[in-house]
Every structure is written in structure tokens, then in C-alpha cells.
Amino acid sequence: MLPVLEFTTYYKPVVWGGDRIARFKGIPSQGPDIGESWEISPLPGHESIVAAGPYAGITLNALVAKFPKEILGNKVHERYNGQFPLLVKIIDSNKDLSVQVHPDDNLASTRHNANGKTEMWYCVDPAPGAFLYLGFNRPMDPTTLRQMIANNSLVDALGKFHIRRGDTVYIPSGRIHAIGAGNLIVEIQQASDITYRLYDYGRRDFDGKLRDLHIEDSIEAIRYDDIAELPINIIPEKGESAHLLTCEYFTTSIRDIDGRLNLDLHALDSFTILMAIAGSLTVKTPDGHTTTLNQGHTVLVPAVIPSVEITGHGQILTVNI
């Protein structure tokens, strides 16, 4: 039986990043401008590498190629042609992120020969006053959108939501959005890194150059009738589990562990991602293999593992297809 898999993490420096991710994880600083930690990634250039155990040093994609159905499950293997389909991150917005949109599968395939990007956020630790922009607050059209970008008033047309810990936010492809300063968020998304920026506050990159905008690409990708709704706030009771979101690409739940949880996975026919968002936990497989899962850390449970026993006190997100 394959073990529960731990991976090295890619810490991405960005102009809007900070240092909260390392503090959340309880590890040494990874730098002053870390905006993202890529917990599990199949994307070339920043592909996850197994960190420990008999497969240490092997990339996620190489391991999936070696054990495709054992890791992915039969249904996921068939649907995604043996490719790992998700990317999981933690995001620290020390400053406001750009206003952006992601293409759907059809547009991304046509333009980039890639997947589209539908995602969700779980808000772990927002600072007082932290907010998100989601969708429009009025009917919109391409001409008006261009005008508002040109006169720096685009954010006036966006839905603005102040965020609480436990808010769950769905961002389907085509939804205009931005993360405001002060958020610490878990992001679960299709395995894609395609982002179109519409507006970036005149910000410059680390080299002092204005960051690229993708206005015409965005115009085609945006859903103009998208009036976003208030995020749903879900924090589980002690020892309980709660469903967060199911969409076409993934299902996510949150579970509070108060001593012991037996997680039955055999009927899923999918891998399961576990991320601890609070506490310190131990994950044990039926063959007795144990893995420590501390706050901010993520592991991949291959589909071939029928169940895991999780002990300790804390909270985890579970993600599967």
C-alpha cells in the first residue's frame, strides 16, 4: 500500500505578500514577501516533490505516472487522463491583490492549451476589516467596464464583502474578484495558473516595472451578469464535520477533530487531500503507518488507502474529486 504522501512546499514571493504563512505553519520565515505557499502542485516549474518516505525526491507527476489509479482512483484517472487535477495553496495578502478573472475550460483550452480555473477560498484568519471583491454590484457590459478601468473606478462596480473566519467563497471561472489586504486564505483550485489582471492600482513589480494587465483577454472571459452573493460562514462544532462546497471540480469539507476520527474513504474512488488549519494531529493508515499533520501542513492520501484514523485536537480541510 502506498503511504500518505508529504511534499516539499513552494513559497512564492510576490509584491503583495507578507510573512504570515510561515508563522501560521510554525516554521522559520521564508522571506518578507511570501504571498503563496503551494502545498500540492502538479504544474511544471513548481511541481510538488515527495519530502519523506520511500518515494522521497520523486515529483508528484512522476509518482502519479508510476501509480496512476492507486493515487488518483479509477474515475479521476479516466476523467483527467492520468493527470493530477488540483492545486492547493495558502495565500497571505499583506496588500490588496489585483482585480482579476480566470478563463473557463473552453477559453483556456483555445488560448493556452490548458485547463480553466475555478477555485474556492476558505478564510482562515482575516485581520479586522479584511475584505474581498466578488462579482459585480450592478449589471455590467464591456464598454462600461473598459471606461471604469480607464478612469480607475473599477472597484466601485464590484461586490465588496468584509470577511470573517470560516467564510467559504466560491469563484467559478468568469467571476471577477480580488483578495483585499489582511487575509489568510486556503485556496483550492483546478490545476491551472492562468490569471488575467484587469486592474492593479498602478503597482510595480520587484524590478520597478508596471505589472502587466490583460484587459482584452479579461473582456472575453468575464461573466457580465454575475452578481456575487454573500460568502457562507461555516465553522464546525467540536468533534463535528461540515460540508463546505461541491462543484464540478472538487468537494471540500471541514472537520473538527476532538480526540479521534475514523475517516472512511473507500467509496470515494478519489485521492483525498488533508490540510490542518488548526492544532496538531496524527494520521494513521490501516497498515499502521503514521504521519504528523500540524497546523498549516498538507498531505495527500492516495485513493488506494481505504481509510485513515486521525487523532489529536484540531481542524482539517478534506478535498477530493
Q: Which of 20, 175, 197, 255 is catalytic?
A: 197
Q: Which residues contact 180 (CB under 8 A, 6 or more apart)?
A: 93, 96, 97, 130, 131, 132, 133
Residues near 32 by Cβ (< 8 Å), separated by ≥ 6?
17, 18, 19
In which region does residue 31 sit, left (phi positive, over 0), alpha (psi from -120 to 50) or beta (all else)? left
CB 240 within 8 A of CB 302: no
The DSSP letter of residue 228 is P
Annotated catalytic residue 197:
yes
Question: Is 142:136 a contact under the CB 8 Å cutoff?
Answer: no
Q: What is the dihedral of CA 75, 79, 81, 83, to 10 degrees?
A: -80
- 3-class secondary-structure state, position 122: strand
> In the structure, how many helices (H) and strands (E) does the chain have?
7, 19
Tell me the torsion sign for CA atoms 167, 173, 179, 184: positive
Handedness of CA 238, 38, 25, 23 (dihedral sign): negative
User: Closest by alpha carbon to 318, among 256, 232, 230, 247?
Assistant: 256
Q: Where are the beta strands (DSSP E) in the chain?
A: 5-6, 10-18, 34-40, 86-93, 99-101, 119-123, 131-136, 158-162, 167-171, 177-179, 183-190, 196-199, 232-233, 241-246, 251-264, 272-284, 290-294, 298-301, 307-320
- Point out which residues pair with 40 in neighbouring strands: 88
Contact, 158 vs 176, CB < 8 A? yes
Catalytic residue annotation: 197
